[in-house]
Amino acid sequence: MMKLISKQPSKRIFSGIQPTGNLHLGNYLGAIKNWVNLQEEISSIFSIVDLHAITVPQNPLKLKASTREVTAAIIAAGINTEKSILFNQSSVKEHSELAWILNCVCRIGWLNRMTQFKEKAGKNRENATVGLYSYPVLMSADILLYRATHVPVGEDQKQHIELARNIATSFNSMFDSKSKDFFCLPEPQILGPGTRVMSLRDGTKKMSKSDPSDASRINLTDTKDDIFNKIKKAKTDSNPLPATIKELEKRPEASNLLKIYSSLSDEDLQKTLDSFAGKGFSYFKPKLIELAVEILNPISSEMRYLLKDPVEIDKILVKGKGKAQKIAEKVLKDIKNLVGLIH
């Protein structure tokens, strides 16, 4: 029986975010807001996943700046770096090492089913990088390297977590022939009404950093005026707001704005509908603007303050790297032993 040096925690969170530009309301409501709440109960590891960012071309100087900005945004939103681990992915080399091992477990057929690759590669598939194609394997490595049990993400990442579960199961049967449970199967945590925030210009498209239209998203760095203008101009229909969730199904823009309100105010979607049923957008939008400014403005002010001291941000990341690597090293040694690699 092989002696393991890493321990399976009863609960551990891992989640990441790409430094690919300004964080937006979708990243906040779909991921960071939940991280902030969960860190109180569960030991948590959060990463700025810069190796994922380079799966599409990046300007090297901008990438460093974005990594610091995203770090500042996460801290400004309430992540406590004394309690939780926060670091940039590339600084812990074990992520790439494990990704290679898992590349040798994951099947091409599984990757061929990933819808995000199809969306991001688009018609130019032959020209997409191998990194973009195998992105979900690196994401599996991120999670499994810490033997994480829970992964809080937005709806768009559900398929990637399914893949991580398949890879974990396959690894267990290939290399942990006795107990078959070295990796537990990580659970996606898709929480609240903000799990899929849509573009302000098109309620059928996800709000995204890479959307060429800045008016399609609310950035965490937006000023009061930006928020006012973007919500004021957000696409709507001409009907009054409905009373039931069922009626929202055919009204993507109304559904999106009401879900944003419900998520920002931490209230049930039905309660939000009860407050606004029968009212027009001219009544609802100013309320939404007021709420969005109230929640997002303190985050952007704190972010600006933190960004005045990039050296301090780098120190926080280095400290986080140390803590993350301490866990990662042990897990990777166990993995190498199971696979039969001398280390």
Contact residues toward ligand AQP (CB under 6 A) are: 17-18, 20, 26-27, 29-31, 153-154, 156-157, 195-197, 206-210
Q: Of all residues in this chain, which one has the CB nearest to ligand AQP in the complex?
A: 30
Q: Which C-beta is closer to ligand AQP: that of 13 or that of 273? A: 13
Instruction: State the nearest-atom distance from the C-beta of 333 to ligand AQP, in Å.
Output: 28
Catalytic residue check, 83:
no
Rounded Cα gap, residues 271 and 100, in angstroms: 48
Residue carrying the six token digits 């986080």 = 320
Catalytic residue check, 209:
yes
> Of 64, 158, 209, 336, which one is the catalytic site residue?
209
Q: Which C-beta is closer to ligand AQP: that of 6 or that of 195? A: 195
Instruction: State the nearest-atom distance from the C-beta of 286 to ligand AQP, in Å.
Output: 23
Q: Which C-beta is closer to ligand AQP: that of 9 or that of 192? A: 192
Cβ(217)–Cβ(29) below 8 Å: no
Instruction: State the nearest-atom distance from the C-beta of 63 to ligand AQP, in Å.
Output: 12
Q: Which C-beta is closer to ligand AQP: that of 136 or that of 172? A: 136
Catalytic residue check, 3:
no
Instruction: State the nearest-atom distance from the C-beta of 189 to ligand AQP, in Å.
Output: 10
Q: Give catalytic residue positions.
A: 120, 206, 209
